[in-house]
Copies of this chain bind each other. A is one copy, B any other.
Amino acid sequence: MAVRYDPSQFPPFAVTVDLVVLTIRDETPDELSVLLVDRGSAPHKGRPALPGGFTHVDEDIEAAAYRELEEEAGLQRREVHLEQLRTYGAPRRDPRMRVVSVAWLALGASLPEPTAGSDAAGARWVPLSQALESRLAFDHATILADGVERARAKLEYTGLATAFVGRTFTVADLRRVYETVWGTTLDPGNFHRKVTGVPGFLQATDQQTAGTRGRPAVLYRRVRTTSLNPPVMRPGS
C-alpha cells in the first residue's frame, strides 16, 4: 500500500523567516525601536531590511525564528516574546527565486545594542518612525507595518505589554509601555485602578522601588495571562 513519492514533482520553494523585533529603548523611550540589518549582497544590497534568513530543511519554522533571533540579534529565547505574524508569499517578492516568508513578531524589554561582538554586527536599533520612512528591502515595509499594528492591537485585550518590561515592574512602567506603543498619554490614576483591578492580570511582589523621586511604587510580576476582559481602552478609537 505504500506509495513512493517523488519530491521533485512538487514545486520547489524556499522558506524564510523574517523578524519584526520591537523594543522600547532607554535612549528613545518615547518611541518603539525596531531591529534592522543592512543587506550585504544583492538584491537590494545596502538597503535596510528586517533580520531573517532561510529555514533549514529539518528545522521547525519557529525554531528557525529563534535561531535567527540569536544569530542576527544576539537574543536568547527567554529574553523575548515570539509569535507568528503572517506569511508573505507573492510570487516575485524576491527576484532570485520563489520565496515564501513566514514573518514573526518578537518583543522584548529594553534590549541591548547587538553590535557588541557576535555575528550580529550588522544589526542595529532604529526608531520606528525612521524605519518607516526608510526604503526597506523586499516587502519588509509591509511586514513591519503589520507587526506594529498587531502589537498595538494586542495591547488592548491581552497582557502583551508586559513583554516590553523586565521581570518586575511598576504600574507606571507598564503605563509608559502603553503610551509609547500607542503614542498617547493615559491618565495615571485611572490606569492604575484598571490594571490592578483586573483579577489575575498582575501579581504584586512584596517589594517596592527605592531611590526614585516621589512615593515608592509597588513592584509587580508578570502573570501568564491570555485575555484581558474588559480591555484597556485605546483613546480615540
Contact = CB atoms under 8 A, between A and B. Distances in A.
Interface of A: 1-3, 5, 7, 10-15, 41-42, 45, 54-62, 84, 86-87, 89-91, 96-98, 100, 102, 157, 227, 229, 237
A66 to B, nearest CB: 13
Contact of A90 (B10, B54, B60, B227): B60
Nearest to A100: B15
Count the copies. 2
Contacts of A7: 12, 14, 96-97
Nearest to A17: B89
Contact of A100 (B90, B100, B157): B100
A55 B89 contact: yes
Nearest to A237: B229
A7 B60 CA distance: 21
